[in-house]
């Protein structure tokens, strides 16, 4: 389509769309009308139920889809799943800066709802339109579909800029579901495998995708053109969906965009994972009258407030050690091995049309003033020159005699002499193992299938030390609803950057960086190729591996040419080949160990409150 013709068509569609009304969404379990947030060009459907309430017998169970016909609507406005409260050791990435609004909705156990953003022009299209589904990040313990919501404004995750008609010559529909967090969605281990549902959060996401398959056609969405997007925990959720057994869990999307996929290896079903369940269940039983045993029946009968308190205690207990207690885990059914291992064989990887993978320049910052620095264990931050604190961290990550050789190999690969201090040493270990090399295994997995893969690197504001984990979300979700001048004026004061540069930065993000990234990403979701867009910018070539490095990576930066091709030096064969071997060695050591020899942690003690921490 010629660009001039595109402009004329868009103008005609905009005029027609403004006169359209938003049709109700009619489901077997209720009817949802467009919310007051709808505009002349956008229909917004809020709090649409996609699964039955995960309470009672459905607590710690797979989501029930389709929902029971009597499920009805939410009893609260903007329902969100229960999240952890941040501690001194780990900051909530959603609330890492005072410059962002912090309205998240109302926490409730009945939280499996989603929001849908439909441009009115989509209803005028003669063809079904592509769909994008967003999975939020937050380390599997934070986050919601209404993250950064400002009262009276569209949700930051609403994708107003993404569905804007100026982005692509095809309208898109944007869907944002909740999924269960913390112990509510991610308890695992052999007991959970036998009596409940490990990785329930992943199945919540699949239920949302199944909803799209079954119902998005009502809004003129194309169920055969579904892209999943995610950042951090959301991206690593997608990574896990890429390696589920296809005969039991057929693919529900065709394209995937992963920004900074982040997770920790969780594989010890008989030891650590089962022990986490036991400690959680025992703590709940101790606070629940008439619980005869720390089992699933007790958990399903327990008071919601008790579960919420123990959920927080579980997080507090290990947060300072740099280890998250829950997340996607090997469960012998949905996730059969550490994903890094599964990606080594192309037959394990679900076939997709196209994949886009990105990371930021410094997933964990060097500066202790940045929220992302809290990924480094507190004892190392407090004693950065003490090598024993690094050793303690490795002992937590890989406990037991079976893994002694792997711990030694990590020590040798990351010798103290190569780093500023033990904090810098730990920063590189965590950044490589839990962030950067996840991008490489996805790239390698799909290149082995002869698929097109697109690689992206975000370095904007790195000269100020601010191209850190999640910093790429602002341009990804840029829209006219965000006052960038006020935002960056606030950020510059918080960051102590000298000079009157807020106006320059805000103009660059709102006029160049944001629209450029969105046009690349939406073009990718519509066509499988990020270059097919009316915007004129750098041509992006598919990724190639040359001399052990990812080539044709588009780098987003704040220079005259904001999008430039580079060779990625952060996820090379030398770095990520080592972590691929670590993953393989972990599985081998675990398979050969018989009953796990990992130390069982003591019973959970009563935890301090957030204020005391």
- Asked if 99 and 490 touch (Cβ cutoff 8 Å), the reply is yes
Clarify whether 232 is annotated catalytic: yes
- Angle, helices 404-413/387-397, rounded to nearest 10 degrees: 140
Concatenated DSSP letters for 122-175? GGG-SS-EEEEEEE--STTTS--TTTTBPTTS--GGG-TTTT-TTT-SS--EEE
Judging by beta carbons within 10 Å of its beta carbon (0-12, 13-18, 19+), is residue 306 exposed, middle or buried? Answer: middle
Q: Tokens standing for 68?
A: 């029971």
Radius of gyration of the chain (CA): 23
Q: Spell out a b/e string for 480-517, using b for 16 or more CB atoms within 10 Å of the CB, else e.
A: eebebeebbbbbbeebebeeeebeebbebbbebbbbbb
φ, ψ (nearest 5 deg) of residue 254: -115, -20
**Dihedral sign (CA 530, 532, 538, 542):** positive
Residues 6+ apart with CB under 8 A from 140: 181, 182, 185, 186, 201, 233, 263, 324, 326, 327, 328
Place of tokens 């910052």: 365
Residues 78, 94, 227, 232: which is the catalytic one? 232
- Token code pair at residue 414: 């990351």
How do beta strands 255-259 and 452-458 pair?
unpaired
How far apart (Å, rounded) are the C-alpha atoms in residues 563 and 201?
35
Residues acting as catalytic residues:
232
């Amino acid at each position: 389509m010629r660009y001039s013709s595109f402009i004329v068509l868009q103008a005609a569609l905009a005029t027609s769309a403004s006169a359209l009304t938003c049709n109700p969404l009619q489901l077997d379990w209720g009817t949802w009308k467009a919310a007051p947030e709808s505009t002349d060009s956008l229909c917004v459907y809020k709090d649409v139920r996609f699964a039955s309430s995960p309470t009672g017998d459905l607590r710690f169970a797979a989501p029930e889809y389709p929902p029971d016909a009597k499920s009805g609507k939410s009893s609260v406005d903007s329902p969100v799943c229960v999240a952890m409260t941040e501690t001194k050791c780990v900051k909530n990435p959603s609330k890492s800066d005072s410059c962002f609004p912090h309205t998240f909705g109302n926490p409730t156990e009945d939280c499996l709802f989603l929001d849908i953003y439909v441009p009115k022009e989509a209803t005028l299209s003669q063809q079904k339109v592509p769909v994008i589904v967003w999975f939020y990040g937050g380390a599997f313990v934070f986050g919601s579909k209404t993250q950064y919501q400002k009262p009276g404004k569209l949700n930051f995750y609403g994708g107003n800029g993404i569905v804007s008609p100026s982005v692509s010559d095809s309208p898109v529909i944007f869907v944002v579901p909740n999924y269960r967090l913390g112990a509510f969605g991610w308890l695992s281990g052999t007991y959970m495998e036998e009596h409940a549902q490990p990785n329930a959060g992943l199945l919540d996401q699949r239920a949302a995708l199944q909803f799209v398959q079954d119902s998005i056609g009502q809004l003129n969405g194309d169920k055969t053109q579904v892209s999943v997007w995610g950042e951090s925990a959301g991206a690593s959720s997608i990574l896990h969906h890429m390696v589920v057994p296809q005969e039991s869990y057929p693919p529900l999307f065709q394209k995937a965009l992963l920004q900074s996929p982040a997770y920790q290896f969780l594989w010890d079903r008989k030891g650590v994972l089962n022990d986490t369940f036991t400690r959680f269940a025992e703590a709940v039983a101790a606070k629940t009258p008439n619980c005869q045993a720390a089992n699933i029946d007790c958990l399903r009968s327990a008071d919601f407030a008790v579960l919420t308190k123990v959920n927080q205690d579980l997080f507090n207990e290990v947060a300072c050690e740099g280890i998250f207690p829950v997340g996607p885990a090997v469960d012998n059914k949905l996730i059969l091995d550490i994903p890094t291992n599964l990606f080594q064989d192309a037959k394990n990887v679900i076939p997709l049309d196209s994949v886009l993978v990105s990371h930021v320049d410094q997933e964990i910052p060097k500066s202790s003033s940045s929220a992302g620095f809290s990924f480094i264990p507190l004892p190392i931050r407090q004693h950065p020159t003490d090598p024993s604190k690094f050793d303690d961290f490795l002992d937590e990550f890989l406990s037991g005699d079976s893994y002694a050789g792997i711990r030694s190999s990590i020590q040798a690969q990351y010798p103290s002499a190569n780093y500023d201090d033990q904090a810098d040493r730990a920063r590189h270990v965590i950044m490589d193992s839990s962030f950067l090399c996840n991008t490489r295994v996805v790239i390698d997995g799909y290149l082995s299938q002869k698929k097109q893969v697109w690689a992206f690197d975000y370095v904007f504001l790195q000269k100020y030390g601010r191209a850190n984990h999640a910093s790429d979300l602002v341009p990804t979700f840029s829209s006219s609803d965000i006052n960038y001048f006020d935002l960056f004026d606030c950020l510059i004061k918080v960051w102590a950057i000298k000079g009157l540069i807020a106006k320059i930065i805000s103009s660059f993000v709102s006029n160049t960086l944001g629209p450029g990234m969105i046009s690349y990403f939406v073009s990718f979701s519509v066509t499988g190729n990020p270059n097919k867009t009316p915007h004129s910018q750098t041509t992006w070539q598919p990724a190639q591996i040359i001399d052990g490095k990812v080539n044709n990576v588009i780098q987003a930066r704040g220079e005259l040419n904001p999008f430039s091709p580079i060779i990625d030096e952060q996820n090379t064969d030398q770095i990520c080949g080592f972590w691929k071997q670590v993953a393989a060695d972990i599985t081998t050591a675990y398979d050969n160990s018989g009953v796990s020899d990992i130390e069982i942690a003591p019973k959970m003690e009563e935890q301090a409150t957030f204020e005391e921490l």
